[in-house]
Structure 1
Amino acid sequence: MKRLLTFALCLFFFLAFSGSMATSSTLSPPPPEDQDEISILSTEYLSDWDCYLIDNGDGTVTIRGYSQANRYVDEIYVKLYLQKWDGSSWQTVSSGYRKTANDNIYVSHSKNISVQTGAYYRTLSYHQIIHNDIEDPKQPQKIVSDSCYID
């Protein structure tokens, strides 16, 4: 009787865990760390920047970003892209959405985008200022958001 009970418990745990393992193996692998994809450049005018990805829960995401200067500048912009994890690398799946503000210290932009569920997504953004014919930073500041699994 003791052997039968042990066998039944072992069979129960095997079936319970093998079912959950099968489910998790169909998920996309988690993306790698993003630290190497962020550029931090020396800037004279650009004081703050960031980007986000929001799961709207309805098969759409919102990509958002902003750029901020430390004084009024001739031109400030933020440019946003949506990226999707394909299992080995990030693929850009949207065109760049750019918003520019003139004679300002701040610009923000957001865009709602329909996505395919069952995948990881993130926002890629670029930030730059043009003031007195100087591009700051020389190459646009690049940053990525945390990734989000959309189901």
Structure 2
Amino acid sequence: MNLLKRSGLLLIAIMLFIVIGAVKEGSANELPFSVGSGSTLNDYTVQASKYFMSGTTFIQIVSADRVKVSGNTKAYNPVDNIKVDLILQRWDSSSGQWVDVLNIGSATNYSSSIVSLSKEAKVLKNSYYRVWGIHRVMHAGVIEQQASISTYVFVD
């Protein structure tokens, strides 16, 4: 099993080097490598929701040891309660998985169709980070919830 994990990590590392090597100077509308984003709209399965519209997560490198973490949840119309929870995760190469390192917090709005949360966090250098978000809409006794995960950034 360890050999399989190591082989998978080696393959991912090789692919990452190939992708980075192939990237040329980007256009103005492309996101730089210092920004990661995720959305519930990236889920290609058909989701039937009456109130929930979308949820997004973002992570951006601010300095050599700080990142800005943000996210939002949107509903089609104002709902009783709309919420976003954000968790900062770091890649742990020894275990080969993403681990929660900081609960950024949650934000809730009432009788609204959107809620947003944004905070800065101190991070370790030479590490990969991403944001995991839980997006929740509650209205008339109905609860609709989805998750989003941003792409990662490397803090060097």
Q: Which residue of 1 aligns with 2:81?
A: 75
Calculate the TM-score normalised by the size of structure 1: 0.70
Structure index of larger Rg: 1
Identical positions, percent:
25
* Equivalent pair of 2:104/2:119 in contact (CA under 8 Å): no
- 1:6 counterpart residue number: none
RMSD of equivalent CA atoms:
1.8
Q: How much does 1:50 deviate?
A: 0.6
By percentage of residues, which structure has more strand? 2
**What does 1:72-151 correspond to in 2, within 5 Å?**
72-87=78-93, 88-136=96-144, 140-151=145-156
Q: Distance in 2 between matches of 1:58 and 1:147?
A: 16
Measured in 2, the distance between the counterparts of 1:43 and 1:117 equals 40
- Cα deviation for residue 43 of structure 1 reads 1.6
Taking the aligned partners of 2:148 and 2:114, their CA distance within structure 1 comes to 17
Q: Deviations over 1:33-78 (max 9, x none)?
A: xx9xx76643211112110101002311111100011001000001
Aligned residues: 114
Match of 1:44 among 44, 50, 55: 50
Q: Per-residue deviation at 1:134?
A: 1.0
Preserved contact between residue 64 and residue 125 of structure 2 (Cα < 8 Å): no
Gaps of 5+ in 1: 1-28
Any gaps of 5 or more consecutive residues in structure 2?
Answer: 1-12, 17-37
In structure 2, the CA distance between the partners of 1:76 and 1:54, relative to structure 1 (3 Å rule), is same
Q: Please report the TM-score for the alignment, with normalisation by the length of structure 2.
A: 0.68
Could you list the per-position Cα deviations for residues 76-112 of structure 1 after superposition, in whole angstroms to 9, with x for gaps in the alignment? Answer: 0010000000111000001251100000011000111
